[in-house]
Amino acid sequence: MLNLILLQAELGAAQQGNQWTFWVMMILIFVVFYFFMIRPQTKKQKELQQQREAMKKGDKVVTAGGIYGEIKEVQDTTFIITIAKDVTIKVSKDSVYADASDAQAQQEKK
């Protein structure tokens, strides 16, 4: 009878230790996900948003659909982009990226 009580006490202590190990591992997994996946992505999104806010008339851009053009007018949430002579389109700011070839040309001029 005493052996049974001692055995149950040992099993209870082992299960409690396993429970703590489980929670520690879950917290470590969350920390790893945060620092290696979530944080870099939010940093990248902030940089992209700052880049879009800094765009001005005359900058060369590429839309998410792959259309190259030059900003003709900047509005609150959209850009008016000239893609050919006398051809303009209105595009959401969220779907516009800076044209990398334009940035390379500016670097070569320096």
Q: Is 107 helix (H, G, I), strand (E, B) or coil?
A: helix
- Given a cut of 90, whether residue 2 has pLDDT beyond it is no
pTM, full prediction:
0.60
Per-residue pLDDT tens over the stretch 28-55: 999 998 889 889 999 998 998 888 888 8
Distances (CA, A) of 6 to 9, 13, 20: 5, 11, 21
Q: How many Å apart are CA 41 and CA 35, to the nearest integer?
A: 10
Domain-wise residue ranges, the chain: 1-54, 55-109
Taking the C-alpha atoms of residue 94 and residue 29, their distance in angstroms, rounded to an integer, is 32
CATH of domain 55-109: 2.30.30
Burial 9-34 (b: 16+ CB within 10 A, else e): eeeeeeeeeeeeeeeeeeeeeeeeee
59-106 pLDDT, tens digit per residue, is 899 998 889 999 999 998 999 999 999 999 999 998 898 887 655 555
